[in-house]
Amino acid sequence: MPHKGFDIFIAEPQSTDARRCRVCGTTCRVTRNVFGPTGFVTAMAGLFRVHDEWVCPHTDQPWHGRALHLVTAIEDTPSKRVATLMREDLEELLQEHLRAS
């Protein structure tokens, strides 16, 4: 499940700036001219508009979900030491899976 602002980015139609996944650093794939809501609130309000969606190609992989969890936990933890440990776990996880692909 992609997480907006981490591994899925909404952009104006015909956006040219390639987005990089904030979880694994992979260049995202773009789907152009998507017609739909651009977020939870706009979905609830039934607001649809044309936009580009940049999504990480690994977003459906279980390891990517774990990596996303680590990234958000690193941002949330008030502890520098815990953050350092989790960053090491994240590095290890990414190396394990990105080397193979």
Residues that bind Zn ion (CB under 5 A): 7, 21, 23-24, 26, 56, 58
Residues forming beta bridges with residue 49, ordered by sequence position: 36
Task: Annotate 50-91 with three-state secondary structure.
Answer: EEEEEECCCCCCHHHHHHHHHHHHHHHCCCHHHHHHHHHHHH
Residue 14, amino acid: Q
Question: CB-wise, 23 or 70, nearer to Zn ion?
Answer: 23
Q: Which is nearer to Zn ion, 19 or 58 (CB)?
A: 58
Least distance in angstroms from the C-beta of 12 to Zn ion: 22
User: How far apart are CB 79 and Zn ion at their closest, in Å?
Assistant: 25
User: Smaller CB distance to Zn ion: residue 7 or 53?
Assistant: 7
Residue 29 pairs in a beta bridge with: 55
Cα 1 off chain centre by: 9
Task: Tell me the closest approach of the beta carbon of residue 64 to Zn ion, in angstroms.
Answer: 5
CB of 89 to Zn ion, least distance (A): 16
